[in-house]
Amino acid sequence: MGSVIFVAGVTMAVLVLWVNIISLRFGKTWKEGFGVELSFSQEQAAEGEPMYLFETIINDKKQALPAVSVKFKTSRYLKFADEAGGMVSDYYYRNDVLSVQGYEKVRRSCRFVCMRRGEYEVNEAELVVQDPFLLRQYVEKSEVSAKLIVYPSFVSAQRLLPLFNRSIGEMMTKRPVFEDPFEYVGVREYMPGDSMNRIHWKVSAKQGKWQVKTSAYKAGSPVTILVNLESPGVFVNETAMEESIRLAYSLVWLFEEHGIATTLIANGETGCHVEGLGRAHLGNVRKALACISYKTNCKKGAVMLAKEWETGDDASYLFVISAAAKEEIQEEIEKIRRRGREMTWVLPIAGGEDESSKIHSTIRKDCILWKC
């Protein structure tokens, strides 16, 4: 009996020793030829657009990795379809578990929706690997490079059209703001972003490449759009700020469609000033608004308006987009208006912060309430 116990004990000791040797050897070799790559399906997207984040796990050696966790974080504004694989707070923390055989490359697709414009980047992933006996855990941080820029979406045409017609009808020399779709003066070559319903099919067929109709109406007066990203209350009203950005982008796009030069000025943390006309200009505006931030150190809207009063072009129609109706902001708007400059103040309203009751009677007729 004693010999049986002795043999069993020796066998167990040898087994434990063997398991530990294998485990220690695994700890020295698991990183060889092993890595992870992360990439987005596209480098650019628009708000509301579905996208994919690709995880590629590479194991370029004979040794299998039975239990691997790939962990990384990204913005909560990239809403993943499978949130069971992660945790959401201010960031989205993802934790994917899988096994990788020897000389195997595993690629996973994680679907998500771009909920908000902005710049997004994943630059680090954490790899957690268990040895074959689940005795030891090994952790390695890996540098990755996955970048994405999300552009603001458009405001619906049904909402934008009344604003457009009301505010610059007179500036458009009393002609309809939207030209007759059957009236045009010529054609030009199709450019990315052009509407398909503007294509001149007969000319396109003759020339062998797409041609679009050019508008029969061109307005001469430029437009300045001032976007104040200073929140009306103590806390940042993100809904109103994001709607302000979408509205500004939509207006620039609409003026561009009618050949009207625009100057976009916004405050935010760093601010932006973009002026011009053409597709390149629209692209610059889109990128500037995608990247602008306003959550901390946002410059005062009244300062921006005061500068416009001092240096702005009175011949340029002025749009002011501001959810804040602070006294100093209204005073600057009144100064601009008293000088005879044509303008419209658009006041976005969201989250119960309705500043409309504060509007001075002298400029109430120039203000449009915009519910977000």
**Can you tell me the mean pLDDT for 81-109?**
84
Q: Specify the pLDDT at position 217.
A: 42
Residue 212 above 80 pLDDT? no
Q: Are 243 and 226 in contact (CB under 8 A)?
A: no
Q: What is the pLDDT of residues 285-295, one digit of tens each?
A: 999 999 999 98
Tokens 């974080």 -> residue:
73
Q: Domain ranges in the chain?
A: 33-151, 157-179+219-371, 184-216
Pairwise CA distance, residues 351 & 349, whole Å = 7
What is the CATH code for 157-179+219-371?
3.40.50.410
Q: Are 81 and 123 in contact (CB under 8 A)?
A: no
**Can you tell me the mean pLDDT for 141-169?**
87
Q: Specify the pLDDT at position 85.
A: 53
Residue 155 above 70 pLDDT? yes
Dihedral angle, C-alpha 163, 319, 337, 354, nearest 10 °: 70
Q: Are 265 and 303 in contact (CB under 8 A)?
A: no
Evaluate the CA torsion angle 16, 22, 24, 26 in order and state its sign.
Answer: negative
Higher pLDDT, 90 or 142: 142
Burial of 299 (0-12, 13-18, 19+ CB in 10 A): middle
At 260, list the tokens.
């009207």
In words, the CATH class of domain 33-151 is mainly beta
Q: What is the pLDDT of residues 249-266, one digit of tens each?
A: 999 999 888 888 999 999
Residue 248 above 90 pLDDT? yes
Q: What is the pLDDT of residues 322-362, one digit of tens each?
A: 999 999 999 999 999 998 898 999 999 997 778 889 999 99
Name the E strands within the chain: 34-40, 44-46, 50-59, 65-75, 78-80, 86-88, 91-100, 104-114, 118-130, 137-151, 184-189, 211-215, 223-228, 262-266, 272-276, 317-322, 343-349, 367-371
Residue 315 above 70 pLDDT? yes
Distance of CA 12 to the CA centre of its chain: 59
At 110 the three-state DSSP class reads: strand
Q: pLDDT band for 171, please (50, 70, 90 cuts).
A: low
Higher pLDDT, 8 or 343: 343
Percent of the chain having pLDDT more than 70? 81
